[in-house]
Chains A and B, each alone.
Chain A
Amino acid sequence: DTGVSQNPRHKITKRGQNVTFRCDPISEHNRLYWYRQTLGQGPEFLTYFQNEAQLEKSRLLSDRFSAERPKGSFSTLEIQRTEQGDSAMYLCASSSGRYNQPQHFGDGTRLSIL
């Protein structure tokens, strides 16, 4: 098991374009989380899935953001009409459903908006 996998590692795009990131969690994990991290800050929670159900979304997740986990396996995070402020590292984490099991993080996708 290679752990949580995120693609792409880096994404550079022009303002106004749409971008999509993918996260493949650890195979037996049914919980999946997205976080965003900007320079000098810790990761900030964006959204959470249990299996295919999106159970919680942060107020940070504007209408331009959408996340899916169609079959309870991999997840995608899409940002429409990107803005300069969307530049950040987007982290995915997964965990099992057992009590108090830790979250395992991927390497992240670094988004740069030109």
Chain B
Amino acid sequence: AQRVTQPEKLLSVFKGAPVELKCNYSYSGSPELFWYVQYSRQRLQLLLRHISRESIKGFTADLNKGETSFHLKKPFAQEEDSAMYYCALNSGGSNYKLTFGKGTLLTVNP
């Protein structure tokens, strides 16, 4: 069965510090992975996806098939990065239904 694990429910860092939000997955097929973010009082929105290999708001994530991981990283955290972050796996083939992790609440302190 498909599964996404985000081991940290809460993560707190100081402004300017590096941040890494962990995501591990289990999936028998070829994975397609996403990071979604939910800022306070806003809707869930896509942050980035592995297939794009892009950096959004300074965040990057690399798919490591050997370790079955898709960790989200940013070298210098900003206060506006404080939000709930969800890692998600396309587990539905062409249907593109998403399997989400439980999320990590990131707090960036001044």
Contacts and interface: CB of A to CB of B under 8 A. Distances in A.
Interface string B62-80: 0000000000000000000
Contacts of B97: 33, 45, 48, 56
A44 B32 CA distance: 17
Given A43-B44, A105-B44, A31 B96 contact: yes
A95 B98 contact: no
Range class of the B interface residue count? 20 to 34
B92 A41 contact: no
Range class of the A interface residue count? 20 to 34
B98 A41 contact: no
Contact of A48 (B90, B95, B101): B95
A42 B100 contact: yes
A75 B95 CA distance: 17
A102 B92 contact: no
A83 interface: no
Given A42-B86, A43-B44, A103 B101 contact: no
Given A56-B92, A100-B90, A100-B96, 11 more contacts: A3-B43, A40-B9, A41-B102, A45-B98, A48-B95, A100-B49, A100-B51, A102-B49, A105-B36, A105-B45, A108-B43
6 contacts: A42-B101, A43-B44, A48-B97, A55-B95, A56-B95, A107-B43
Interface of B: 4, 9, 32, 34, 36, 43-46, 49, 51, 86, 88, 90, 92, 95-103
